Structure 1
Amino acid sequence: VTQCDVGKALGNLKLPGVGSLSQSTICRFESLTLSHNNMIALKPVLQAWLEEAEKMARDKKISAEIFSDAADKKRKRT
């Protein structure tokens, strides 16, 4: 996932008062070059995105596991 992807995904979360973030803002957050106050303000926003991304990843894994059982039973060609 790129910094640009994270910025766009934040806009899709529809959090009140939060639009998408620029790639440079996310880069500065990662490199700890934002001011302390800006980091404190961004932490809950980024945490909300991370929780949503992890939930989506778990859901995809679960649905992939459901379909993998059917694929295992398929007859193999020799």
Structure 2
Amino acid sequence: MKMTETPEVTLYTTKGCHLCEKARELVLTVNPNTIIHEVDIAEDDSLMEEYSSWIPVLQRGPLRELVWPFGLFEVRAMLTL
């Protein structure tokens, strides 16, 4: 993917998650045009069970996931694959 394209990611988050804010900032630093679909895990019991110990989690496509902690290098790699 070229950085001129508009990538889309899902950010698994919940209210009051300061690390989730940092994750969002990292994504937008790498590519300010990225479309971020935020999913509040508190609204879904299965997501709570799966992600409550791991948020923030970034997902791109069905198989690519980043679990916190991650940085600019990992986000850039995810958005450019």
Q: Is the shorter-chain TM-score for this pair beyond 0.5, marking a shared fold?
A: no
Name the structure with the higher strand share.
Answer: 2
Whichever of the two has the greater Rg, that structure is 1
Name the structure with the higher helix share.
Answer: 1
Q: Which has the higher contact order (CA 8 A, sep 6+)?
A: 2
